[in-house]
């Protein structure tokens, strides 16, 4: 007998029992299975069901992560994470959404290597901040609200070891991201706006390339705050330079732009979070003809807020009750 796998008959009986509701004795059987067969994904999946039935969403997610560690990218576990963390908008147990779209367009520069290095610099800033402020980042679970192709979400995991959930609005994009950048600690989920976020799941959230496409900024921010996430990073296009016609034309893909003070005011309005650090990035400068072009990637680093910035960032921390 293979001591790493639980008996098939026992697993089948307990799985069948979950459809009618587990008795206390059956729950105890599952707990014993988990203790004896911890690397059997079927035991871990039964543990997920027990925890979910008892309202322990964090514990249920931990069981699914364990399943993925044993069997990476297994479809049933990925689908269960999707069901747990990205429920339908009609689920009354989740937080309210917002009115807007997270299907962000791609501007003329946004696939250029220099531009992508600038975005990577933004994510590396997040990783550095987490490493400086947390004793053990590998125990964290992070949320990337606009994960695009998934490469930057995976970058956070590579640099910190944190488990990461990336949200994509496009179903095909989710599949490609999971195939290219997903692993046993990084998963990408499909969710369109309005976002619905489970509470008390994530330790930190990243919101880059999302807020500028939302019509109701305050409700969008409120939606994130309701998930009770300790640390939040937000980046938006800067609004101070829009008086320059050529600059405004270049940034026309973005619906909204924000001054540094506007962004801080939106984030601190309800009093739940405070801005721990405000930063900026330079991406463009005028050439001899006055047309804005990308600066060198070595100049796109995140630094304290400065005039003529192209992007503003804030690092938010939840206030103590």
How does pLDDT run across 270-297, given as a tens digit for each residue?
899 999 999 999 998 877 777 778 889 8
In a domain? residue 91: no
Q: Is 29 in the same domain as 76?
A: yes
pLDDT of residue 252: 52
In a domain? residue 247: yes
In a domain? residue 180: yes
CA torsion angle 43 49 54 55 (round to 10): 130
In a domain? residue 102: no
Two structure tokens written together for 12 = 């089948």
Beta bridge partners, 267, equal: none
In a domain? residue 238: yes
The model's pLDDT over 69-124, given as tens digits with 9 standing for 90+, comes to 999 989 999 999 999 998 765 443 433 333 333 444 444 556 788 889 999 999 99
Q: Is 68 in the same domain as 131?
A: no
Quote the CA–CA distance of 37 and 32 in Å, as a whole number.
8
pTM attached to this predicted model: 0.88
Q: Is 78 in the same domain as 117?
A: no
- Is the preceding peptide bond at 194 cis, omega within 30 degrees of 0? yes
Identify the domain boundary among 85, 105, 132. 85
Two structure tokens written together for 205 = 């959230």
In a domain? residue 104: no
Residue 165 burial by Cβ neighbours in a 10 Å radius (0-12, 13-18, 19+): buried
In a domain? residue 98: no
Q: Is 133 in the same domain as 242?
A: yes
Q: Is 81 in the same domain as 128?
A: no
Quote the CA–CA distance of 45 and 287 in Å, as a whole number.
58
How many folded domains does the chain comprise?
A: 2
The model's pLDDT over 169-201, given as tens digits with 9 standing for 90+, comes to 788 889 999 999 999 999 999 887 667 889 999
Q: Is 28 in the same domain as 171?
A: no
Q: Is 160 in the same domain as 250?
A: yes
Range of the domain at 205: 113-318
């Amino acid at each position: 007998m293979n001591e790493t796998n639980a008996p098939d008959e026992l697993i089948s009986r307990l799985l069948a029992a979950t459809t009618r509701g587990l008795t206390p004795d059956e729950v105890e059987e599952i707990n014993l299975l988990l203790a004896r067969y911890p690397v059997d994904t079927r035991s871990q999946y039964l543990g997920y069901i027990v925890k979910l039935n008892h309202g322990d969403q964090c514990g249920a997610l931990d069981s699914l992560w364990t399943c993925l560690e044993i069997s990476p990218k297994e479809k049933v576990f990925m689908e269960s994470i999707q069901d747990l963390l990205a429920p339908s908008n009609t689920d009354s147990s989740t937080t309210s959404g917002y009115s807007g779209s997270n299907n962000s367009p791609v501007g003329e520069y946004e696939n250029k290597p220099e531009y992508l290095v600038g975005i990577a610099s933004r994510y590396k800033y997040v990783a550095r901040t987490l490493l400086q402020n947390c004793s053990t980042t590998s125990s964290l679970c992070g949320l990337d609200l606009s994960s695009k192709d998934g490469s930057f979400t995976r970058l956070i995991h590579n640099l910190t070891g944190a488990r990461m959930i990336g949200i994509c609005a496009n179903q095909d994009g989710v599949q490609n991201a999971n195939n290219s950048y997903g692993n046993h600690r990084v998963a990408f989920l499909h969710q369109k706006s309005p976002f619905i976020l489970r509470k008390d799941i994530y330790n930190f959230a990243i919101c880059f390339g999302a807020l500028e496409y939302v019509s109701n900024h305050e409700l969008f921010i409120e939606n994130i705050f309701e998930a009770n996430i300790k640390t939040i990073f937000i980046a938006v296009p800067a609004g101070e330079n829009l008086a320059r016609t050529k600059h405004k034309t270049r940034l026309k893909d973005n619906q909204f732009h924000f001054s540094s003070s506007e962004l801080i005011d939106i984030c601190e309005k309800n009093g739940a979070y405070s801005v721990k650090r405000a930063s900026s990035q330079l991406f463009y400068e005028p050439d001899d003809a006055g047309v804005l072009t990308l600066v060198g990637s070595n100049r796109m680093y995140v630094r304290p807020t400065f005039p003529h910035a192209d992007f503003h960032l804030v690092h938010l921390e939840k206030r103590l009750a």
